[in-house]
Structure formats: structure tokens, C-alpha cells
Amino acid sequence: MELLERAILENGRVLPGDVLKVDGFLNHQIDVQLLSKMGKFVYERFSDCKVDKILTVEASGIAFACLTAQFFCCPVVYAKKSRTSNLSKDCYSSTVRSYTHNNVNDILVSKNYLKAGENVLIVDDFLATGEAMNGLIDLVGQAGGNVVGVVSAIEKGYQKGGDRLREKGYDVLSLAIIDKMDENGIVFRKQ
Amino acid sequence: MELLERAILENGRVLPGDVLKVDGFLNHQIDVQLLSKMGKFVYERFSDCKVDKILTVEASGIAFACLTAQFFCCPVVYAKKSRTSNLSKDCYSSTVRSYTHNNVNDILVSKNYLKAGENVLIVDDFLATGEAMNGLIDLVGQAGGNVVGVVSAIEKGYQKGGDRLREKGYDVLSLAIIDKMDENGIVFRKQ
């Protein structure tokens, strides 16, 4: 999606440690109008899928998921990263390694909010190794739902998590796929 | 706001420990259409304030903040609860006690995303003792911005945090104010 690629080039920064810093519009400050246009783009691709629910994970997936869900007129469910006192004990859970934060988290969704037979679109801000997406797919599977698509705003294509999901047969949409990035610049995959 | 009060009565549950469980539509599963209507309601109240930015805190404030910001055509900034590897070292920070989670967190915002002279509307899902709101107000103050309003979806009026903010002169809008809740039911404050 050209608009997002332009935002990445204009406002993103490549930092040491394979970090793409896009906290000016995606995951700290949020350009709500841009994310809403991205949500419309996602809707146009998946509008024939009868999406019952969008599933994401806290915290950085929530904005994109909500602004996308508006077009589908469906609810969002976000998986939690800790077992807070408010979370029901009756949860689906999956273990996810975060390379960004260098830790391992269980992600949890109350059994009340994922059901058998539901068509679920998975949405997150980043897709790199695919750990978080695989965790979310696992949660949908535990509930007996159907993953109709896997959507990321930005895919780090060179980390191969997206391609592994495509090989498994998932319908993966990333609005920008980065095939290479370093101090000299960012190369997007042609889509 | 009658629509929200009805959602609370129909889908909320009062649990021991002063917990109002509204995770079916507000902070785990999100009724995006309801929150968008709530956002419009907020806009109608603050539309003359020249809001430059909406400030909230991860994770449960993000959905309501983004769906509100659409009407103001302004960005959202969400304060983070941990110093992740992606967060700039140059941050405003404030210490906040959470009674729900029984812990103390620093909340942080990069100095890039709060600026002197900005008109900031603070938005969160809950207002109880006011700890989180006071932390967010503190961050805006450190940046030299102006708090034009403090908005919560649900205020636990009997915990007095909202009234203390009103006494200090803040323009506080809560879409539903609960004056009493127990196993017998929920009493809303007339507004």
C-alpha cells in the first residue's frame, strides 16, 4: 500500500538491532486517519469473507484492529499478555516469544470471546518471525474457529515468518513488506 | 450516555472486590460500533476546544481513544507502561498505582510526542481513584501542554477520583458514572 510505504520512508527510522522505529504513526503516536485508510484497504481485500471477529494482541495491535473492524462492522478481541485480576480463569492460552522485547509471554483470550465456527481475521502491526501470529492462530484453533486471513501493517519479509505462513496456506496480507533495510535505506517487496 | 449505561446493565457484571467486568464490549472484546458512537458523543462535547492530540494509556484506553480521535481528526498518543527496547530514552514519566492490578507502574511518553502549547484531551476507559488520569495530566504538564478535558467511558463515582478532578477545575466528562454497585445492581448518577 503506497500510502503506508511513503509514511515509513518519511517517518520511519532504521536503528541498530534490526529495529524499524515507526512510533511516530503506528505504535506510540498513532496517525488515526492513516490507520483508518489502511483498515479500508484491508476491508476491500477481505470483504467477501464474512468476517465475524478481528483478533489482535495488546497493545500495539489494538489501534489498527479497531480502525479496520469499523469497516467490517465486527467486534475486535485482543489477546492479553498477562493474567490480570479482571481476566476470567477460563482462557485459551499460547506461548509467544518476542524478539523485540527479548522475553516469552503467554497470550490469553477468555473462552467467552472466541467460539467454534467463527470466521476470524487476525490483525497485528508487525509480522517478522511470525511468533505472535502463530500464537494468535493457535488460539483460534483451540476455539475451533476459522482463520480467514492474517494481516499485518508491516512485514519484515527477510525474517520469513510471512512466507512460512503463506506456504502453510494462510491468506496473508501485509500492507508493506520490507525485503531489506539498513542504514542505507529500505527496500520494499513489489506486491 | 444512555447507550453505554444500557450496555453496562445488559453485559456488565459486578464481581467481588469492586470489579465491574465489562470485558464483553470495552476492554477485551471491543464493540467497535458502540465505542465509535461514544467517540462521537465526546466530540460533540469538546468540538470547540481545538484538540491537537488525544492522550491515553495502554492497553485498555487505546480502542476508545482511537475511535474518538477519528471525529477530531487528530492523532492519539498512548503512554507505555514499560520501557521497551523500542522506546526512546528521552521520555516524560509519571508513577501510577493501579488498584485493579495491585501494582505500581511508571507510565512513559516519548518527548517527541507531547509538546508545549498543545491542547490535549485525555481519554481512558475507566476513572476510579483518578491515579491513571493524574499520571496522564502530569505528563501533559511536564511537556507544557494544556489539558482541555478528561474523558472516561465509565467513572466509579463513589471512588471520588472524578470529583476531585472537577474540584481542581478540570473539565471531566464520563459517559457513565456509577454511584453505587453491588450484587443487587448498579445505580448511575443522573447527568
Q: What is the DSSP letter of B81?
A: S
* Residues 6 or more apart in contact with residue B48 via CB below 8 angstroms: none
Peptide bond into A59 cis (omega under 30): yes
Cell numbers given for A80: 492479553
Q: Do A80 and B29 touch (CB under 8 A)?
A: no
pLDDT at A86 over 70: no
Average pLDDT of the segment spanning A125-138: 98
In whole angstroms, give the CA distance from residue A159 to residue A127. 9
To the nearest whole Å, the CA of A28 is away from the closest chain B CA by 6
Picking from B14, B18, B28 by the largest number of A CB atoms within 10 A of its own CB, the best residue to mutate is: B28
**CA–CA gap between residue B139 and residue A170 (Å, rounded):** 43
- Determine the average pLDDT of the residues in B147-174: 98
Model confidence at A85, in pLDDT bands (50, 70, 90)? low
Contacts of B74 in chain A (CB under 8 A): 32
Rounded to the nearest integer, the mean pLDDT of chain A is 95
| pLDDT of the residue at B101 | 73
CA distance B117 to chain A (A): 17
Of the partner residues A19, A29, A101, the one whose CB lies closest to the CB of residue B75: A29
**Predicted ipTM > 0.85:** yes
* Cα of B20 to nearest chain A Cα, Å: 9
How near does any CA of chain B get to the CA of A167, in Å?
A: 30
Distance between CA atoms of residues A171 and B179, nearest Å: 48
CA distances from A138 to A25, A80, A181, B27, B28 (A): 29, 14, 30, 21, 18
Cβ–Cβ gap B101/A78 under 8 Å: no
> Taking all residues of chain B, what is their mean pLDDT, rounded to a whole number?
95
The pLDDT score that the predictor gives to residue B94 is 97
Spatial contact of A4 and A176, defined as CB atoms under 8 Å apart: yes
Q: Which of B17, B28, B35 sits opposite A78 (nearest CB)?
A: B28
Q: What is the mean pLDDT of residues B106-113?
A: 96
pLDDT at residue A47, rounded to an integer? 97
Q: Give residue A188's Cα distance to chain centre.
A: 18
- Indicate the range of A20-29, A182-191, B76-85 predicted with least confidence: B76-85
Q: What is the pLDDT of residue B86?
A: 64
Q: How far apart are CA B181 and CA B12, in angstroms?
A: 11
Task: Name every residue whose Cβ is closer than 8 Å to that of residue B175 and which is 6 or more positions away in sequence.
Answer: B1, B4, B38, B41, B42, B151, B152, B153, B154
Instruction: Give the number of beta-carbon pairs within 8 Å between A and B.
Output: 128
B69 part of contact set with chain A, CB < 8 Å = yes
Mean pLDDT of A162-181: 98
Per-residue model confidence (pLDDT) at position A99: 74
* Residue B87 reports pLDDT greater than 80: no
B102 falls in which pLDDT band (50, 70, 90)?
confident
User: What average pLDDT does the segment B47-69 reach?
Assistant: 97
Out of A32, A59, A112, whose CB is closest to B76? Answer: A32
Q: What is the pLDDT of residue A101?
A: 73
Question: How close is the nearest chain A Cα to the Cα of B170, in Å?
Answer: 24
* pLDDT value at residue A60: 95
More confident site: B105 or B165: B165
Strands B13-15 and A185-188: unpaired
pLDDT digits (tens, 9 = 90+) for A18-56: 999 999 999 999 999 999 999 999 999 999 999 999 999
Query: Which residues have CB under 8 Å from A130's CB, separation 6+?
Result: A159, A160, A161, A162, A164, A165
Q: Indicate if the pLDDT at residue A75 is higher than 80.
A: yes
Residue A17 touches partner B, C-beta closer than 8 Å:
yes
Report which residue type is found at B128.
A
Q: How far apart are CA A63 and CA B76, in angstroms?
A: 9
Q: What is the mean pLDDT of residues B30-56?
A: 98
Q: Note whether B21 contacts A: Cβ–Cβ < 8 A.
A: yes
A147-159 tens-digit pLDDT: 999 999 999 999 9
- List the single residue in A76, A80, A110 with the smallest CB-CB distance to B63: A76
Residues in B touching A66 (Cβ below 8 Å): 30, 32, 35, 62-63, 66-67
Q: At what angle do helices B32-46 and B62-72 cross, to 10 degrees?
A: 50
In terms of pTM, does the model score above 0.90? yes
Reduce the DSSP state of residue B138 to 3 states and report it.
Answer: helix
